[in-house]
Amino acid sequence: MTAELFTAMRQSIVDGEAGAAGDLARQALATGVSPLDAIERGYVPGLTAVGEAFSAGDMFLPDMMLAARAMKAAVEILEPALKASGGQRQIAGRVVIGTIKGDIHEIGKNMVAMMLASAGFEIHDLGVDVPAERFAEKAAEVDADIVGVSALLTTTMAGQRNVVQAIVAAGLRSRVKIIVGGAPATQGWADEIGADGYSEDGVASVALARQLLGISA
C-alpha cells in the first residue's frame, strides 16, 4: 500500500500535477505515513526522474517548473507535520538570492530559486532591485552559504561586482560563495568580478551550488 502511494507520489511529480501531489500528501498524513518518508521516498524520486529526463533532452523547462511546483505543494502540506514530529528535512544549504539594484527582471531569478528549493536548499529571496549591501546584510542574518545575484541587463550587471565587494566589506567572503547569473553574465564575467561561479540556467545552478558546497548529487 505504502509502496503504491510512493509510486503515485513519484508520478505526480513527473506529471507536474500539484493537485495530485497535494492530495497524496494529505493521504499520507491520514494513513500515518512518515512525512519525511513521503518526501524522501515518494516525491524526491520523481524530481530525480524529471531531472534525468531533462538532462537527456526528453523533458523541457516547463516540465521542470511544473514538477517543482508540485513538489512545493506536497512539501507545504507535509512540513507542519514534519516539524511537529521533530523531524527535519536535511537542508543542502542556505541561499540568499535577488536581482541587482536597477533591474526589475525576476523570472530567471525565480527559476533558480525554485530549482534550488526543489533540490533541498533553503531560499531567502530578496526580490528585485536589491542594493548590494542588502545581499550582505541578509547573508549575515541567515548565515548564508551562497549568495546568488541575478542581472538581465548589460547595464545592470556591473552591480554584481558591487555585491562581491559588499560581501568582502562585511567580512563574509571566506564563508559565503557568490554565484551570478542572467543573460549577459558569463564565466569570464564571474571570474573578472571575483565571484565563485556562474550558471547559465536554473537547472545548472543546482549542480553549481552542490559543487561549491561539496555536496554530491
Partner 1 sequence: MGTTVEVLSPNDRAVIHERSLALLAETGVRVDTGRGRALLADAGALVDESTQIVRFPRGLIEESLRLAPRQFSLGGRRPGWRLPMNEGACSLVLDGEAATAVDALTGDRRPTTYDDWLSVTRLAEDIDEVGVYWRAVSAVSAGSAGSAGIPGEGPGEGPAAILHGWRDAYRHFTKHVQDSAASPEETGWLLELLGAVFGGRQAVRERMPFSFLLCPLSPLVLEGSFTDAYLATADWRIPVAVMPMPLMGLTGPASLTSTVVLANSEVLAVLCLAQAAAPGVPVIYAPASGVMDPRSGRYGGGPVELALLGSATTEMARFYGLPVQASTGGTDAHRPGTQASYERSMGWTLPVLSWPDLLVGPGLMDGSTVISVEQLLLDVEVFRRAARLRRGIGDPAGDPASGEVAAVGPGGTFLDRVVTRDAVRSGVWLLDRLGSHGTYDAWRAAGAKDVLEESRASAARMLAAHQDTPFDEHLARELDGLEDRAKASLRGTA
By CB under 8 A, name the binding residues for partner 1.
54, 57, 60-62, 102, 104, 107-108, 111, 153-158, 183-184, 186, 188-189, 192, 200-203
- Quick check: 41 and 99 in contact, CB under 8 A? no
208/134 Cα distance (integer angstroms) = 23
Minimum CB–partner distance for residue 209 and partner 1 (Å): 17
Residue 209's closest CA among 132, 115, 143?
Answer: 115
Q: How far apart are CA 68 and CA 59, in angstroms?
A: 13
Minimum CB distance to partner 1, residue 128 (Å): 11
Do the Cβ atoms of 159 and 132 come closer than 8 Å? Answer: yes
Residue 202 DSSP SS3:
helix
Residue 44 or 128: the one with the smaller Cβ distance to partner 1 is: 128
The three cell numbers locating residue 94:
542556505
> 111 vs 139, which CB is nearer to partner 1?
111
Residue closer to partner 1, measured from CB, 79 or 106 = 106
Distance in Å, CB of 46 to partner 1, minimum = 20
Nearer to partner 1, 38 or 132 (CB): 132
Nearest distance in Å: CB 157, partner 1 = 7
In angstroms, what is the minimal distance from the CB of 127 to partner 1? 15
Cα separation, 92 vs 72, whole angstroms = 16
Nearer to partner 1, 49 or 158 (CB): 158
> CA–CA separation, 206 vs 121, rounded Å?
9
Contact by Cβ (8 Å): 122, 113: no
CB of 93 to partner 1, least distance (A): 23
Pairing of strands 177-181, 197-198: parallel
Nearer to partner 1, 20 or 157 (CB): 157
